[in-house]
């Protein structure tokens, strides 16, 4: 498990999709399938940059499942 810092860089769905080179529907599907961890801040979905980087490095394999609060 990785340390969570209050200073983690957070990405929107659009930013994360662009970073991964996939479309918005795909990133939403990955999120719903538990392939990408995410957080919700005031009802808005965000992805930690560190999680996106790990996803890239693993070739798209999930690192943890579901919603991280």
CB 12 within 8 A of CB 50: no
pLDDT score at 69: 41
At 40-59, the pLDDT tens digits run: 999 999 999 999 999 999 88
At 14-41, the pLDDT tens digits run: 999 999 999 999 999 999 999 999 999 9
pLDDT score at 65: 47
CATH class of the domain at 10-57: mainly alpha
The more confident residue out of 16 and 8 is: 16
Q: 32 vs 3, 8, 25, 45, CA distance in Å?
A: 23, 22, 11, 12
pLDDT score at 64: 46
pLDDT score at 8: 81
């Amino acid at each position: 498990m990785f340390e969570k810092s209050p200073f983690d860089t957070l990405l929107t769905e659009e930013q994360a999709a662009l970073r991964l080179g996939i479309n918005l529907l795909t990133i939403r599907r990955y999120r719903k399938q538990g392939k990408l961890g995410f957080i919700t801040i005031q009802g808005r979905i965000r992805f930690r940059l560190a999680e996106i980087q790990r996803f890239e490095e693993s070739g798209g394999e999930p690192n943890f499942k579901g919603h991280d609060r």
